[in-house]
A = this chain, B = another copy of it.
Amino acid sequence: MQSFTRCMPAVRQIRLSNTAFQRAAIRRPAASQILAQRRWQSSEATTSATHEGNHEHSGEGPPASKPAIKYTSETYPELKRDSKFAELTPEHVKWFRETLGTDSAILDGVNQDAGDDMEPFNSDWMRKYRGHAKLVVKPGNTEEVSKILKYCNDNMLAVVPQGGNTGLVGGSVPVFDEIVINLARMNQIRSFDDVSGILVADGGVILEVADNFLAEKNHIFPLDLGAKGSCQIGGNVATNAGGLRLLRYGSLHGNVLGLEAVLPDGTIVDDLCKLRKNNTGYDIKQLFIGGEGTIGIITGISILCPQRSNALNVAYFGLESFEKVQEAFREAKNQLGEILSAFELMDGRSQKLYNTASGNRLPLEGEHPFYCLIETSGSNTEHDQEKLEAFLEHVMGEEIVSDGVVAQDQTQIKELWGCREGVPEHLGHWGGVYKYDLSIPIGEMYSLVEECRERMMKAGLLGDSEDKPVVDVVGYGHMGDANLHLNVPVRRYDKAVEKELEPWVYEWVQKRHGSISAEHGLGIAKKPFIGYSRSETMVRLYKQIKDLYDPNGIMNPYKYI
């Protein structure tokens, strides 16, 4: 392998031809691969301590051990099936079969034992949530979704809208016997205008399929995330997915121009506007963006897609303090301006653990308290290179950054990104991880990690010896979006650790007016904790919206609010 080019004294830079798309494909394995690797693995670590659902655990376990996933109804014993919902009968199934017409659109566990076929629809890929659904329906078009919802609403049958089922908070699998409405068959791209960059597509289109389609037209989908090979764009919109392009292209609330959605009563919200500007009426579609399928099902989206960038560069730095990280971010915004596409933070401990657990070497010699990964993408390779050079000279000259490297080829780009993206995956090495996805005003972002570490030290829970449950307390995340992932890798899940963490973490975030769920949503996992991020007034207003659109409460019950 080539050695990295050191930032100073001379910065060199490779030119990547047609890189943006190739690189994306190389850098991150498609979620389908990840799912293939992960599905039905590491169950012990994830299930043993999630009974209260109040943190997101992950761990690595041997593929051989595949005990059955615990039912959500067991993990959350306080949840009871709402008796207002009807129980599925063969007559119901008959109606669905006749309405959908084709056998392949129904998975019937009412009249027969659907067995393992039902499992992927009942469980999530993390093996944390598992429902008791006995019926999966796969509508082929919006009218069928409308008929299905109206029927369910009229008959008090609870439903769960399901896209790629790649969520992290248990939002897309049933809790009890809700009917799964799976969007996989609605997978058509409806139109694309290469002058305006506006794409219209079914909600069930896989994100990667949409992005590949756009790549051929020299455009990109304004959202990218690890699960792109499996997740569906309707689900992305329903969960207001954040992902890797948010810093540059903004949130879905700005990029989604129109929606088609179906309300529980069968009403088709026909707001599939293909215009950047349309100031005629309340922007109702926004309620479905991040509504997590609790007021309707998104069947189509219209979205503004940017031009694809020709040039891509990645650099990796060591820094002395979080103050320097903030300075570097300010300078990056200032000097890289319009080409800055990622500014990721990893603390020194996260990099050390990544190194230990993965065996992958770190790009820089020596140890630094903080590391950053910067990505630029722009329309001109030379210009981007010059800007990056000037930026590097400045931040190193001013001693904002202690050391750094710039990737010279795609392998190195992948390796540098690996130091960021490999962190969550490898932190489970010691047994498990307590994970929090938080949004915190940027100046105070890292204090939480420091205070949490002190807290664990004081409680005598953190140390190098086997008798200490906590290996370390680390922080990393999307600095550009003030989105911190606080991770506590542990040798074993431990009540004493949990007691120190919660509700302390949520209270800490609440005091700073942060968010207890930056990008993962509420689902079932965060439902009980919304009060830490939203006032009573806001929660009351959310309930009002829920009642307005779903008075019978059939949509994705037991979740969200």
Contacts and interface: CB of A to CB of B under 8 A. Distances in A.
A541 interface: yes
B542 A277 contact: no
Contacts of A378: 337-338
A520 interface: yes
Given A279-B520, A287-B283, A442-B193, A273 B542 contact: no
Given A269-B538, A326-B195, A441-B193, A280 B383 contact: no
Report, as a range, how many residues of chain A touch the other chain.
35 or more
A346 B187 CA distance: 40
A522 interface: yes
Interface string A262-295: 0000011111011111111111101101110001
A544 interface: yes
Nearest to A197: B333
B283 A279 contact: no
B442 A196 contact: yes
A261 to B, nearest CB: 11
A443 to B, nearest CB: 6
A280 B379 contact: no
Contacts of A521: 279-280
Contacts of A275: 439-441, 482, 513-515, 518
Given A270-B535, A286-B287, A281 B338 contact: no
Interface stretch (A91-99, A246-254, A421-429): A246-254
Contact of A441 (B196, B270, B515, B533): B196
Contacts of A267: 537, 541
Interface string A232-256: 0000000110100010001101110
Interface in A188-220: 193-197, 218
Q: How many copies does the complex hold?
A: 2
A329 interface: yes
Contacts of A281: 290, 522, 530, 534, 538-539, 542, 560-561
A267 B539 CA distance: 13
A513 B273 CA distance: 7
B218 A334 contact: yes
Contacts of A280: 515-517, 521-522, 526, 530, 533-534
Given A251-B254, A279-B522, A383-B383, 13 more contacts: A194-B330, A242-B279, A251-B276, A267-B537, A268-B537, A271-B538, A278-B533, A279-B517, A279-B519, A307-B333, A309-B337, A383-B387, A544-B548
Interface of A: 193-197, 218, 239-240, 242, 246, 250-251, 253-255, 267-271, 273-284, 286-287, 289-291, 295, 307, 309, 326, 329-330, 333-339, 378-380, 383, 386-387, 439-443, 481-483, 513-522, 526, 530, 533-535, 537-539, 541-542, 544-546, 548, 560-561
